Structure 1
């Protein structure tokens, strides 16, 4: 069975009105966690994104259920791809295709930053019944998973030991959580004719209101704590992904 046949077999379960003789698939550059394909529906002149979720999702502390809740909560704000079909078993997801130009560090202008800041302020006001994101447990889980597969070098171990007291103090503070993307970088931002859109919400949760602002550089870069928090999460993620 070739790859197209496998994908058709997968989306046949969706009961979407596809003429399978007139659709084609194009494999996209892999995201951080999944395999994604562009679906070209030639008959209806539409495009979709089919994302096949990685078996590593749990290792990355990703809640597919929460992701669906979040995408449904923000759909009316026109800032993210709309869900076309969500697999009940959460093995794959089909969303609308966002047609536009992907941002990069080089072409992310001051005006783009101003627009994005307003979008962040908008989605942070959306109330979602999710628990407060626990950054301490998140990093501890990453460290545990890595330790099961390999030895954490002394430099990283000392770095974590030094950081954990600060992280525990931060987590126990009475900050009010807001909707947080948690992976906000230019490659997840697309400029379209209908405005700026943000993709890849799989790491999203109810997090700290400054996290996304630090991620994208819209707030003081000299903040040691947030710089270290973001860098440690990214470094540990890469270690898990490479195992």
Structure 2
């Protein structure tokens, strides 16, 4: 993380100037945060040690269909749960949230602990969250249409076309979903675990959210869903297991397209290799 004066940071990232009037005195310094893949955020530290995170709007957030206003709406609606950081200030340039002090679980988290906090998130009353439900089809199409033709090999295109439609499943209702719940987005605080980086969060089928977390953690889907259902006292386990299994290949294709788009935007070969790796899992 690069640390610099507030003045230098504002010169490097002009979006910071839109939040300058929020502070009674100019912050002591700002620090780039390198943890997120999509976002290039800032830790802003004030004179008395109070810290915030500035989450700017950029061409990158637009490319990945990220809305800071939706992120603000979700964080505001769940503020009383203390699961996520408190939203502080929103502007057309970005979102300011509180800095969550604690131990980053980037190197891994016990999956049972993850399931417990995920079940808490899914149990939140969505009627008080004023956001439009997530559309899987719209999201994968959004990624695909931005990818340049030279990257759209026949193999990539076949996977996109085969898996672009959501599965036909028994309805289990919609839940608040984080869509990127893993150790790297969790912080161990003195008051328990907190979840950060809500930029992909939306209202959706919770089995989709579970499939994403299971895939990242490389957990056994049947065992993971059974433990989740036990936590939420859900009796119809089969509907949840089959649902999550139906979402797994679709979430893999969505991730594949994300990596292709990330490679196009940043030119980092790592992202292209990740996309190829996902493609190969289907071929094998």
Distance 1:187 1:181 in 2: 13
Normalised to the residue count of structure 2, the TM-score between the two structures is 0.72
Work out whether residues 186 and 216 of structure 1, in 8 Å CA contact, stay in contact via their aligned partners in 2.
no
**What are the ranges of 5 or more consecutive residues in structure 1 without an aligned counterpart?**
none
Q: Could you tell me how far apart the structure 1 residues matched to 2:188 and 2:136 are?
A: 30
RMSD: 2.8
Partners of 2:66 and 2:256 lie apart in 1 by: 17
Match for residue 28 of structure 1? Answer: 33
Q: Distance in 2 between matches of 1:136 and 1:110?
A: 29
> 2:238 aligns to what?
none
Is 1:85 the equivalent of 2:85? no
Q: After TM superposition, give the deviation of residue 198 of structure 1 in Å.
A: 0.9
Choose from 197, 204, 207 the match for 1:207: 204
* Structure 2 match to 1:126: 126
By percentage of residues, which structure has more helix?
2
**1:65 matches 2:66:** no
**Structure 2: 5+ residue runs without aligned partners?**
1-5, 215-223, 227-240, 265-284
Task: Give SS of 1:38's match.
Answer: strand
1:233 and 1:213 map into 2 onto residues whose CA distance is 14
Greater than 6 Å deviation, 4+ residue runs: none
Q: Structure 1 residues 157 and 10, CA, compared in 2 at 3 Å: closer, same or farther?
A: closer
Aligned partners of 1:161 and 1:5: how far apart in 2?
43
CA contact (8 A) 2:69 2:90 kept: no
Report the equivalent of 1:188.
185
Question: Which segment is superposed worse, 54-63 or 178-187?
Answer: 54-63
Summarize the alignment of residues 48-197 of structure 1 with structure 2, pairs less than 5 Å apart: 48-87=52-91, 89=92, 91-104=93-106, 106=108, 108-123=109-124, 125-127=125-127, 128-146=129-147, 148=148, 150-164=150-164, 167-170=165-168, 174=171, 176-197=173-194
Aligned mates of 1:157, 1:5 — CA distance in 2: 41
Matched, 1:219 2:220: no
Return the alpha-carbon distance in structure 2 between the equivalents of residues 36 and 73 of structure 1.
Answer: 22
Q: SS of the residue aligned with 1:81?
A: coil
**How many aligned positions are there?**
233
Paired position in structure 1 for 2:229: none
Distance verdict in 2 for CA 1:12–1:232, change over 3 Å: closer
Equivalents in 2 of 1:77, 1:61: separation in Å? 26
SS of match in other structure, 1:131: coil
Residue 131 to residue 116, structure 1, CA distance change in 2 (3 Å)? same
- Residues 33 and 53, structure 1, Cα contact 8 Å, conserved in 2: no
